[in-house]
Amino acid sequence: MASEPVLVGVDFTADALRVLLTDEQGQRVADGEWPLPELPDEESWSWEVGGRIASLFAAEGERRSALAITVAAPGNVEPVSGRLIESLAQEAWDGLAIVDSLRRHIDAPISTESRMTCALLAETWQGAAAGVDDVLYVSLRGVPAAAMVVGGRPLRGAHRGAGALPAAPEVDASRALDDEELERLAGLLADLAAALDPELVVLDGAATHLDALVPLLEQVLEQVAPEVEVVRAHLGERAAVIGAIRLASSLAFEGGRRA
């Protein structure tokens, strides 16, 4: 029986792993989500993640092969070397050689990108910013972070740190933001939008937080950047793995792996 070629998107955080397999058009073939244990070194990470990918390749008696794999990683990423430079998840993952470690187990083109950039690319592909080339994406899940595309290309920064929001208050999903936190966030994001001049600001987070922040940010932007529109993200916590599929599709095309 001939193997079925698939695109593979991987998204991992400090304690969770998502894997999505799609056909060449981005239609779901299979997916899975698992808790991640503490993985203290590169070898244990590669066996855990590689093993989960392999389990979906063989699920339900199917034979599958990877056209390309892209991994959405939690932190600052060096795409050329395929490394997670600074992890925002488990500390042991600083310097993790994501691409090289997976290539030991899987023969396919592999790339990696930050979770924020993947989530943003997903929203410009299938979500709230579909077809828009200048977008600021902000996640309010945990420590707020951002990503930006300019002319359809991700903005990385001189030290691969574009999108960090160190002045933003941490957002706890279990409680509402108080007035001071809301004002700090709205002011910070308005200044960022005024400087970067996107067409859209896409906000992702819990509904209770967005219900309070979106109208406040719109009000502040009316004073400093009235042409910038604020919208809510459509893809939620699955955005990063969907964006990984988008990048895997480009990688497969560039590598000539498409059937």
DSSP per residue, 91-105: GGGTTEEHHHHHHTT
Secondary structure of residue 249 in the 3-state scheme: helix
Q: Establish how many alpha carbons lie within 13 A of residue 170's alpha carbon, considering only the half-sphere containing its beta carbon.
A: 4
142 confidence band (pLDDT: 50, 70, 90): confident
Supply the mean pLDDT for the chain: 92
Left, alpha or beta for 26 (phi > 0: left; psi -120 to 50: alpha)?
A: left
Rg (CA), the chain: 19
- The stretch 136-144 carries a mean pLDDT of 92
- Tell me whether the CATH fold assigned to 4-117+237-254 matches the one assigned to 130-233: yes
4-38 per-position pLDDT tens digit: 899 999 999 999 999 999 999 999 999 999 999 99
Of residues 125 and 169, the one with the higher pLDDT is: 125
Percent of the chain with pLDDT over 90: 78
Percent of the chain with pLDDT over 70: 96
117: nearest Cα among 81, 185, 70, 187:
70
CATH 3.40.50.150 is right for the domain spanning 4-117+237-254: no
CATH 3.30.420.40 is right for the domain spanning 130-233: yes
- The stretch 228-248 carries a mean pLDDT of 97
256 confidence band (pLDDT: 50, 70, 90): low
pTM for the model stands at 0.93
Residue spans of the domains in the chain: they are 4-117+237-254, 130-233
pLDDT at 1: 47
Secondary structure of residue 243 in the 3-state scheme: helix
Asked if 71 contacts 93 with a C-beta cutoff of 8 angstroms, the reply is: no
Asked if 68 contacts 109 with a C-beta cutoff of 8 angstroms, the reply is: yes
114 confidence band (pLDDT: 50, 70, 90): very high
- The stretch 222-226 carries a mean pLDDT of 95
pLDDT at 192: 94
